[in-house]
Amino acid sequence: MKNITRHTGKIKLIERLKNSKNGNPQFILGVFEYQGLGWTFRTPKDSMLGYKIKNYIDRDVDVTVTIGTHYNTCTLNSIEGVA
């Protein structure tokens, strides 16, 4: 993964994608800051991040995500809750 950046804000679900061939969930999501600005990204295929992200979607919880490019697609690299 290249061009990794870190963003903090609230996670919003944009689209639920079909499951991977192995049955793991995939999403297109956005992380939005307080000004309403945000970045969109997708969860990687066959990754535990597809399950972990469900704890933060559409909740009033700030999270820090790292996003990078993988085959010219903006992809989630990691997620952490902000205390």
CB 66 within 8 A of CB 54: no
CB 58 within 8 A of CB 11: yes
Cα distance between residue 13 and residue 41, in whole Å: 10
35-47 pLDDT, tens digit each: 878 999 999 999 8
pTM (predicted TM-score) = 0.85
Question: What pairs with residue 1 in β-bridges?
Answer: none
Residue-level pLDDT at 74: 93
Residue-level pLDDT at 83: 65
Residue 43's closest CA among 68, 64, 63? 68
Write the CATH number of the domain with boundaries 2-81: 2.40.50.140
Provide the residue ranges of all domains of the chain, joining segments of one domain with +: 2-81
